[in-house]
Structure 1
């Protein structure tokens, strides 16, 4: 029996229609889909982390803008606990207000008047008359849900006029003032930032090494 030579092997391969010197690639054993699955899960987690970071960044920018507006333009927030201004401003709304001099008040404005020893009142101006000084005005107001004007007029030098309102978010803002909620949010934000920016080079290197043929 003769030993097969390289020439005879090439002739056999040619007769079978296969290129000589090539062998079938070994099929890897084990769960092939495990690595892509982990990669896909990590990709989804990364996207969610990026979204949460963007939300946190936008919230931070909004807070900074509100601080700047409060210091430069006398713009602040007030919450409506009652429905006296419904349906225009229902209970549970938060309004953006700006402090203005009494001389700029107009009939129809919704303004907040501070009352010494009592809670501020936010109603619609129904009439304006001159006060004792040029900077002073005497105004009457009425809630949109009320049948008549407030029981007595208000003598003011400044008021806070409502610029816009957002219904239904007063409870969220109140909850944000809870120290337990603030603590939980601080811890969650810290963990999110640490997770998002934690170096992953060593993990990627180990994964690539495990995939290389040994």
Structure 2
């Protein structure tokens, strides 16, 4: 059996000092620290990807709104239940009134009142080629709306997602937007903040040890 040299004893002592905490307790090994750092980086990457996807969706909605007149509407009442329950968000596209058919679910703007989104029950010609007079009814209602609507354009419901209207409303709250902005900024800063040279030196030493 070979006798330990002074150099090997000094290296062992230095290693023991690094492995012991301030009270002499054993601290996690380099592999454990690297594993924790790996989990932290993975969680950061996931959150960054979620933020990036959300940003892409927002930009896509803006592009669609400007190019093909696609927007979102929220359903506060259940007049279209069970097809579109209250609390749903629908994706709608503005089209000419001449393009709609009986059975379509459309949104009609009303002067001095909120828009109404119901199912078309009848279509009649209007005063011009582009104009139509339509009657509508909510799926949950027993009869047609009290009066017909004279329209040149409407917004056709393409599809709807139930239960997310409250999330959309919350996103418009300035306090929620401020908190999300601060959280996203902190996440990006933390993810790209340069690590100290001592930390990089210790990580390199552990990998070559």
Q: Which residue of 2 aligns with 1:204?
A: 200
Alignment length (residue pairs): 194
Q: Which residue of 2 aligns with 1:118?
A: 113
Larger Rg: 1
Normalization by structure 1: what TM-score?
0.84
Is the 8 Å Cα contact of residues 81 and 140 (structure 2) preserved in structure 1?
Answer: yes
**1:50 aligned to 2:30?**
no
Is the 8 Å Cα contact of residues 110 and 116 (structure 2) preserved in structure 1?
Answer: yes
Instruction: Report deviation, 1:38.
Output: 2.4
CA deviations over 1:97-134 (Å, ceiling 9, x no partner): 00000000100100000000011000000110100110
1:68 to 1:212, Cα distance in 2 relative to 1, 3 A:
closer
Q: Secondary structure at the match of 1:163?
A: strand
Q: Which residue of 2 aligns with 1:194?
A: 189
Q: Secondary structure at the match of 2:114?
A: coil
Give 2:170's match in structure 1, choosing from 168, 175, 193: 175
What is the correspondence of 1:10-49 to structure 2 with a 5 Å cutoff?
21=2, 29=16, 30=20, 31=26, 33-49=28-44
1:198 to 1:179, Cα distance in 2 relative to 1, 3 A:
same
Instruction: Report deviation, 1:41.
Output: 1.6
Question: Is there any run of 5+ residues in structure 1 with no aligned partner, and where?
Answer: 1-17
**1:147 aligned to 2:118?**
no
**1:133 aligned to 2:124?**
no
Instruction: Report deviation, 1:36.
Output: 2.7
Task: Write the distance in 2 (CA, Å) between the matches of 1:36 and 1:209.
Answer: 12
Question: Is there any run of 5+ residues in structure 2 with no aligned partner, and where?
Answer: 21-25
CA deviations over 1:26-65 (Å, ceiling 9, x no partner): 7653426343332222111111110000000000000111
Give 1:68's match in structure 2, choosing from 26, 48, 63: 63
